[in-house]
């Protein structure tokens, strides 16, 4: 991934911090800001800076913010143009990508648009993964 070209293409200044955050996210999709901060810790990037960079990258359309039900923090991924959904285990939190059955975004259309132009439809399938389903019940 040519992170410098991606940043320039989005009109963002190329900085060591932005490159580090983008590369860390590419290596660990669906990461929280805390997890990315841990991954780039050697680069001396403060947590508030990681949050600011993630915000800049999301606003520029380079990354996507993923908000899941019952999650205490947002996750991020480097696939903003890929129309896919997520499946999350409600017990262990495991998260998997699910291809959209329809394909083109937005893949779902509401019965009423309330005068708004629809950009995307985000689906989260809530499930129980096989490992959790087969695990003995907690006492």
Q: Using one digit for the tens of pLDDT, what is the confidence trace for 16-38?
A: 999 999 999 999 988 999 999 99
| Between 16 and 69, the higher pLDDT residue | 16
Task: Just give the CATH number of 82-134.
Answer: 3.30.1490
Residue with tokens 């499946």: 87
Confirm whether 3-66 and 82-134 share one CATH topology.
no
Domain residue ranges of the chain, discontinuous segments joined by +: 3-66, 82-134
The rounded distance, in Å, linking the Cα atoms of 82 and 33 is 21
CATH architecture entry for 3-66: Orthogonal Bundle (1.10)
Could you tell me which of 32, 3, 25, 26 has the C-alpha nearest to residue 16?
3
The rounded distance, in Å, linking the Cα atoms of 9 and 78 is 15
Taken in order 40, 42, 44, 47, is the CA torsion positive or negative? Answer: positive
Residues 6+ apart with CB under 8 A from 26: 1, 78
Known binding-site positions for Zn(2+): 89, 92, 129, 132
The rounded distance, in Å, linking the Cα atoms of 22 and 54 is 8
Known binding-site positions: 89, 92, 129, 132
Model confidence pLDDT, tens digit, residues 52-68: 999 999 999 899 888 87
Output the pTM of the full model: 0.76
Model confidence pLDDT, tens digit, residues 75-114: 899 876 667 778 888 888 888 888 776 655 556 667 787 8
């Amino acid at each position: 991934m040519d992170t410098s070209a991606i940043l320039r293409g989005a009109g963002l200044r190329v900085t060591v911090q932005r490159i580090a955050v983008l590369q860390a996210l590419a290596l660990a999709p669906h990461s929280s800001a805390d997890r990315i901060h841990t991954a780039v810790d050697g680069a001396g990037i403060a947590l508030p800076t990681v949050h600011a960079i993630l915000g800049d990258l999301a606003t520029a359309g380079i990354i996507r913010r993923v908000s899941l039900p019952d999650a205490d923090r947002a996750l991020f991924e480097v696939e903003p143009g890929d129309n896919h959904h997520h499946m999350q285990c409600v017990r262990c939190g495991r998260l998997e990508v699910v291809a959209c059955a329809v394909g083109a975004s937005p893949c779902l259309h509401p019965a009423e648009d309330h005068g708004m132009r629809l950009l995307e439809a985000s689906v989260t399938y809530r499930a129980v993964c096989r490992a959790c389903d087969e695990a003995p019940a907690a006492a």
